[in-house]
Amino acid sequence: MLQEKEISEIKSFLSSPKKITITAHRNPDGDAMGSSLGLLHFLKQLNHEVVFISPNEFPDFLAWLPDTNKVVIFEREYDKALPILQKSDLIFTLDFNALHRTGDAMQKTLETLTNPMMMIDHHQLPDDYAKYTFSDVNYGSTCQMVYDFINILGYNHLINKEIATCLYTGIVTDSGSFRFPKTTSDTHKCVADLIDKGANNSEIHSALFDNSSYTRLQLLGKALQNLKVLPELKASYITLSQEELDSFNYKKGDTEGIVNYGLSIEGIIVTAIFIENKEEGIIKISFRSQGGFDVNEFARNHFNGGGHINAAGGKSFSNLEETVKQFIAILAKEKK
């Protein structure tokens, strides 16, 4: 939690126009985009010059969020992004706990900067790079933290429809539409207020989840056919090879949420999806679990990743088949 002294320092810093940059993790999801754009619209209300720099492209299913057309993409627009970062009076880093989560390219740049940073994030074990760190794993989303941050500063009345829409989006996506365990009465009080301030809950849900292409649903069908169950390990997993992705005209965001199907089978407590990325030479993995099975630890210890207790991700540099074998072997070993 932020100290009283830090809060008053931040408040006085924000009381006159500043140059502020916001960034989030690579491959931004609903929470990364929603919290960044929500904070951006809030800081604009306070008359700051604000830019959101995303490490790489954001998925199409979030392109309707207000002002995505002004997002600077670091990996594509380095020459534009660098001076913005260098001239920042403050850099907000949202929805990640360590600079490497912005990817190799942006990490290198961020590490050379001496500009003060502020982290707002809900992942475990935050690194110590920021002047101000608002980090709390009890939150289900960074968006809910940004909402509390605005309230702590005493600016609840400045929350407009744009801010409410962005924050609502990340809360819906990171909570699996309000079903994951970190969804609390505070979450519902927060979204109730966001609805009062103009977030159209039904339209947002529809914009997020009723916008699939036909090929995306066919890809989901393929993923479900590829689903394997390991009852003795209470585990399941899905694979998608590059060839399969290509044959369904894969676009960024198309595999979002598919991993959860593996957990919907009775008796399964841990699941994973392995997605081949030939261009990056990796297998990108998402893990999900129920109860005490800690996939953050699992991803950290075995698959170059991390995240939360019940939702984490990582990557492997072996091929798809080897990676799956490794996954099963580790589970079998841990079971013992």
Q: Is 314 in the site for ligand 5GP (CB under 6 A)?
A: yes
Using the rule CB under 6 A, is 106 a contact of ligand 5GP?
A: no
Q: Does 262 bind ligand 5GP (CB under 6 A)?
A: no
Using rule CB under 5 A, residue 95 touches Mn ion: yes
Q: How far is the CB of 204 from ligand 5GP (least distance, A)?
A: 19
Rounded to 5 degrees, what angle do the CA atoms 284, 33, 104 make? Answer: 45
Calpha distance 330→137 (Å, rounded)? 26
Pick from 163, 167, 161, 160: nearest CA to 190: 167
Stretch in the footprint of Mn ion (CB under 5 A) among 43-51, 168-176, 291-299, 324-332: 168-176
Binding range to ligand 5GP, per CB under 6 A, among 134-142, 147-155, 159-167, 302-310: 302-310
- 3-state SS of 21-49 is EEEECCCCCHHHHHHHHHHHHHHHHCCCE
By beta-carbon proximity to Mn ion, the closer residue of 97 and 241 is: 97
> Per CB under 5 A, which region of 16-24, 91-99, 280-288, 326-334 contacts Mn ion?
91-99
Token pair 């170059």: residue: 304
Contact characters 9-48, ligand 5GP, x per CB under 6 A: ----------------x---x-------------------
Q: Is there binding between residue 174 and Mn ion (CB under 5 A)?
A: yes
| Using rule CB under 6 A, residue 118 touches ligand 5GP | no
Measured in whole angstroms, the distance separating CA 222 from the mean position of its chain's CA atoms is 25
Q: Nearest-CA neighbor of 28 among 137, 138, 169, 131?
A: 169
Nearest to 331 by CA among 284, 283, 272: 272
Binding stretches for ligand 5GP (CB under 6 A): 25, 29, 101, 286, 305-308, 311-315
